[in-house]
Amino acid sequence: MPRAGLTPDAVVEHAVRLIDDSGPAALTLGAVAQRAGVATPSLYKHVGGLPQLRLLISVRVLDELTERTAAAVLGRSGDEALTAFLRAYRAYVRGHPNRYTALRQQPEPALDAAAGRLLDVLLAVLRGRGLHGSEAVHAARCLRSAAHGFAVLEAAGGFGLPEDLDTSYAVLVGTLTAGLPRLDGTPGSSGDAPAGDATV
C-alpha cells in the first residue's frame, strides 16, 4: 500500500524542494524517496519513473508561473499589465532559480497544456494592447525570449558588471513595451491566435 499522505503531488513537492536546495542535478528517485521517508520502489506507486517526475516538475513550474503572472496582471491593462507580467516572470525565477532551470522543453501533451495556460495569460495581455493573430504571436515570442533570457542569465550569475540589475530589467521592460506595435484594438487580418498554443 502507498504510504499514507504520499501522493503524486506530494512526490513532486518533495522533488522541487530537493531541486531548490541542491539544484536540478541532484534529482534522483533515491534522493526524493529519502526526503519522503519511503523506499525508492515506493515512488513507482505514484510516478512512473524519473522521466515522468521531470515532466511533472516542469508542469508544476509552468503552473506556478501562470498563477503568478495571472495574479500580477489582474485588474491591469495596456502597458501596465505587460509590465506586471514581465516583472512577475522575473520575480518567480529569482525566487526559484533552480526549479526554473529544471523546466524542460519537449513535445508532450501535459507540458504543452501547461505552457498553453501561461501563453493564454500573455495573449490576454496582448489583446489589451490591440494585438491579435500573427501580431500577437510575434510579440509573444519576443517577450518570452527576452524575459526568459534575462532571467536565466541572472539566475546563473551571468551579469558580471556592477550596474543595478533592477535598472537593467526596467530598461528591458521599457524597451519591449515601447517597441510593440499599437493597433488600437483592431484585430489582425490573420485572426486570433489559437487558445492553448504552447509552441509560440
Q: What local confidence, expressed as pLDDT, does residue 15 receive?
A: 97
Do 87 and 185 lie in one domain? The reply is yes
Note the helical H segments in the chain: 8-22, 29-36, 50-73, 78-95, 97-101, 109-128, 133-155, 165-179
Claim to verify: residue 139 and residue 65 sit in the same structural domain: yes
Same domain, residue pair 136 and 155 = yes
Q: Are residues 88 and 166 in the same domain?
A: yes
- The cell for 152 is 536565466
If you average pLDDT over every residue of the chain, what do you get? 88
More confident residue, 188 or 172: 172
Do residues 65 and 38 share a domain? no
Do residue 100 and residue 149 come from a single domain?
A: yes
Q: How far apart are CA 7 and CA 28, in angstroms?
A: 17
Range of the domain at 167: 57-200
Same domain, 123 and 147: yes
pLDDT, residue 4, reads 52
Task: Mark whether 62 and 144 lie in a shared domain.
Answer: yes
15: domain CATH number? 1.10.10.60
Min mean pLDDT across 4-13, 102-111, 160-169, 177-186 is at 177-186
| Single pTM value for the model | 0.86
Q: How far does Cα 130 stand from its chain's mean position?
A: 24
CA 71 centroid distance within chain: 14
Contact assessment for residue 128 and residue 78, using Cβ atoms and an 8 Å cutoff:
yes
C-alpha count within 13 angstroms, C-beta hemisphere, residue 156? 10
pLDDT in tens, 33-90: 999 999 999 999 999 999 999 999 999 999 999 999 999 999 999 999 999 999 999 9
* pLDDT tens track for 112-122: 999 999 999 99
Same domain, 193 and 107: yes
Cβ neighbours of 43 (radius 10 Å): 25
How many whole angstroms separate alpha carbon 38 and alpha carbon 71? 36
- Do 36 and 83 belong together in one domain? no
- The number of domains in the chain is 2
Can you give the pLDDT at residue 181? Answer: 76
- What is d(CA 131, CA 181) in angstroms, rounded to the nearest whole number? 8
Same domain, 136 and 63: yes
Distance CA 133, CA 111 (A): 23
136 and 169 both lie in a single domain:
yes
**Residue 160 clears pLDDT 70, i.e. is over it:** yes
Higher-confidence position of 88 and 192:
88
Could you tell me which residue, 92 or 189, shows the higher pLDDT?
A: 92
CATH number of the domain enclosing 165: 1.10.357.10
